[in-house]
Amino acid sequence: RRRQRYVEKDGKCNVQHGNVRETYRYLTDIFTTLVDLKWRFSLLVFILAYAVTWLFFGLIWWFIAYCRGDLEHLEDHAWTPCVNNLNGFVSAFLFSIETETTIGYGHRVITDKCPEGIVLLLLQAILGSMVNAFMVGCMFVKISQPNKRAETLVFSSHAVVSLRDDRLCLMFRVGDLRDSHIVEASIRAKLIKSKQTQEGEFIPLDQTDLSVGFETGDDRLFLVSPLIISHEIDERSPFWDVSRHQLEKDDFEIVVILEGMVEATGMTCQARSSYLADEVLWGHRFAPLLSLEEGFYEVDYGGFHHTVPVPTPACSARQLAAAAARRDAHLYWSI
């Protein structure tokens, strides 16, 4: 049975929250809730926010005109209405739109003989400004979210295991398709695997850090051209005792997370991907992409996912290190 991904290749997390009873918490942070809505619901809320306020205040303007008797003196030029040329609900609705959007066509205008209308005008102007600020702010934040920037951050379709400087390393490749770079880019990797503790507790999705250069600073990337991220399989690595045969039968997922600031906007961006056990190729190396042209370096993204087989021991890193230690000891005593 194929393992259910914790994180999809495109970075989407396969986690759904069920039986959430304290739904009021979403309303306490209504701004974030609206920003997190899908676009069709955000547009619906955007339209309803304006339409409801226009209709609500239009109804109040019509009610004021009705109570003052303005609608009964439409042809009486000696009568001073609350709003000139307001002759029904439609015109009251149009006046509400003109007031809240500050259009001001000039045909319908409030008079100074209507104190309740002046109070309502001030109230609608203030409330309309608040609605504009809130809804435009939501739309601006939603449009400027850096989620789409992650679409041009690419990860190799497979991870590979091969020798680097006589050490087994787990490697994957990352690249940025845009000319504007990710500032202060950093990379992290997590091993997602079920485990059982010595006390018998079963942890279905245990997360273990995979070192990709945190101690040496190699996790801080200058992502101008595609880079190969390497995890050295040493005694601190969870793959220390894993051989090629064991890897083919193992069940795990490696989640990689690339973070940084978008150079154009200064907002933080995060891109994610994952590799299942059958997406880790033992004994392969990534094909080179960079070539020197006249006056510049060229990256051929056509071979971004390509790997080539290389001679690699099928034993685990522990066995490889033990064999190297015995060889060095034999050489020492021979000398």
Measured distance CA(226)–CA(250) in Å, rounded: 29
Structure tokens at 265: 């906007």
- At 133, is the secondary structure helix, strand, or coil? helix
How confident is the model at residue 15, as a pLDDT?
82
Q: Name the phi and psi angles at 44, rounded to 5.
A: -65, -45
Tell me the sheet residues that pair with 245.
none
Indicate the pLDDT class of residue 331, thresholds 50, 70 and 90: low
Q: What percent of the chain has pLDDT over 70?
A: 98
The long-range contacts involving 193-201, CB below 8 angstroms and separated by at least 24 positions, are 193/238, 193/251, 193/252, 193/253, 194/251
Q: Name the phi and psi angles at 248, rounded to 5.
A: -65, -25
Q: Name the phi and psi angles at 77, rounded to 5.
A: -75, -15
Burial 88-112, CB ≥16 within 10 A → b, else e: ebebbbbbbbbbbeeeeeeebebee
| 333 pLDDT more than 80 | no
How confident is the model at residue 155, as a pLDDT?
94
DSSP H helical ranges for the chain: 24-28, 30-36, 39-68, 89-101, 115-143, 244-249, 317-334
| 332 pLDDT more than 90 | no
| 329 pLDDT more than 80 | no
CA distance to 97, 216, 233, 318, 335, per residue, from 321 (Å): 77, 22, 10, 5, 21
Indicate the pLDDT class of residue 10, thresholds 50, 70 and 90: confident
How confident is the model at residue 1, as a pLDDT?
56
- At 280, is the secondary structure helix, strand, or coil? strand
Indicate the pLDDT class of residue 285, thresholds 50, 70 and 90: very high
Element (H, E) at 227: strand 227-232
304, 256, 255, 251: which is closest to 278 by C-alpha? 251
> Is residue 108 within 8 Å of residue 121, measured between CB atoms?
no
**Average pLDDT, stretch 26-42?**
84
**Tens digit of pLDDT for each residue in 121-177?**
999 999 999 999 988 888 888 887 777 778 889 999 999 999 998 889 999 999 998
Measured distance CA(247)–CA(237) in Å, rounded: 14
| 8 pLDDT more than 90 | no
Structure tokens at 308: 């080539």
Indicate the pLDDT class of residue 196, thresholds 50, 70 and 90: confident
Tell me the sheet residues that pair with 126.
none
Most confidently predicted of 249-258, 261-270, 290-299? 249-258
CA distance to 19, 72, 79, 81, per residue, from 76 (Å): 64, 9, 6, 10
Q: Is 143 exposed, middle or buried (0-12, 13-18, 19+ CB in 10 A)?
A: exposed
**Average pLDDT, stretch 70-88?**
86
Indicate the pLDDT class of residue 51, thresholds 50, 70 and 90: very high
Q: Which residue is listed with tokens 């507790």?
A: 201
How confident is the model at residue 335, as a pLDDT?
62
| 119 pLDDT more than 80 | yes
Measured distance CA(279)–CA(7) in Å, rounded: 14
Crossing angle for the helix pair 39-68 and 89-101, nearest 10 degrees? 120
How confident is the model at residue 204, as a pLDDT?
86
Structure tokens at 287: 């094909």
- 76 C-beta neighbours (distance < 10 Å), count: 11
- Write down all domains in the chain, each with its CATH number in brackets: 23-144 (1.10.287.70), 148-333 (2.60.40.1400)
- Could you tell me which residues come within 8 angstroms of residue 34 by beta carbon, excluding any fewer than 6 positions away? 42, 45, 138
Parallel, antiparallel or unpaired: strands 268-276 and 153-155: unpaired
